[in-house]
Amino acid sequence: MRLLLLGAPGTGKGTQGERLAARFGVRHIAAGDLLRAEARTGGELGRQIADYQARGDLVPDQIVFDVLIPAVVDAAANGGYILDGFPRTLPQATAGAALGARLDVSLQAAVYLYAPDAVLTVRLLERASQGGRTDDTADVIRHRLELFAETTGPLVPYYTERGILVAVNADQSPDAVTADIEAKLSKLSLPNA
Ligand code: ADP
């Protein structure tokens, strides 16, 4: 199983990614988590990544490729992956598609989780109040939602044109979202799904 979870901050990509990875027995690769882990190792690269993340800006594509591609290639060789947050820009999507085609491990579906910005803002502020991430402040949340619309939004028509987009309403309970994703994937009759 090779899936991408596409969705604005707060749509529940992390929660659903973990569940789908367990369900299909593949690795959940969360771009933000891998980049945060790299940032914690310190050094110049780590400091740069931490600065982008703290501002809610996207980390430059080349850094993202260096951190993410080895994990994706390794997972692909071991049964597949649930990608969460990568690709997140059109250049990342086209580079990822070229690599996937070359290694014969192309994406089978892109699951687009959508919900109103007002709902997402409440969720992220709630996460912040429970000791969440340092980028869960009102200003940085607004910036991340804007960047999602501008930069990641174009991936929705991109994957629709390729016939692999599955749109799921994320403004429901986590269980209902998981059930919708599984129902829609089963209609695609993917291997192992
Ligand atoms: P969220 O979806 O809530 O923004 P993530 O953990 O996916 O949370 O991402 C957190 C931050 O990590 C982003 O704001 C950005 O700085 C960085 N990041 C994650 N994925 C990417 C990516 N594919 N390209 C560039 N930056 C990324």
**Cβ of 52 below 6 Å from ligand 1:** yes
- For the segment 85-97, the average pLDDT, to the nearest whole number, is 95
pTM score, whole prediction: 0.93
Q: Whose CA is nearest to atom 12 of ligand 1?
A: 32
% of the chain beyond a pLDDT of 90 = 87
Q: Give the mutation target among 53, 62, 72, 90 for probing the ligand 1 site: most ligand atoms within 8 A of CB.
A: 53
Kindly tell me if the per-residue pLDDT of 43 is higher than 70: yes
Q: Whose CA is nearest to atom 5 of ligand 1?
A: 32
Q: Give the mutation target among 58, 65, 89, 136 for probing the ligand 1 site: most ligand atoms within 8 A of CB.
A: 58
Nearest atom (ligand 1) to Cα of 31: 20
Kindly tell me if the per-residue pLDDT of 193 is higher than 70: no
Residues whose CB is less than 8 angstroms from the CB of residue 156 and which lie 6 or more positions away in sequence, other chains included: 6, 112, 165, 167
Q: Which two tokens stand for residue 78?
A: 């071991």
Kindly tell me if the per-residue pLDDT of 188 is higher than 90: no
Type of residue at 75: A
Could you report the per-residue pLDDT of 143-167, keeping only the tens digit for each? 999 999 999 999 999 999 999 999 9
Rounded alpha-carbon distances, angstroms, from residue 48 to 21, 29, 126: 30, 21, 27
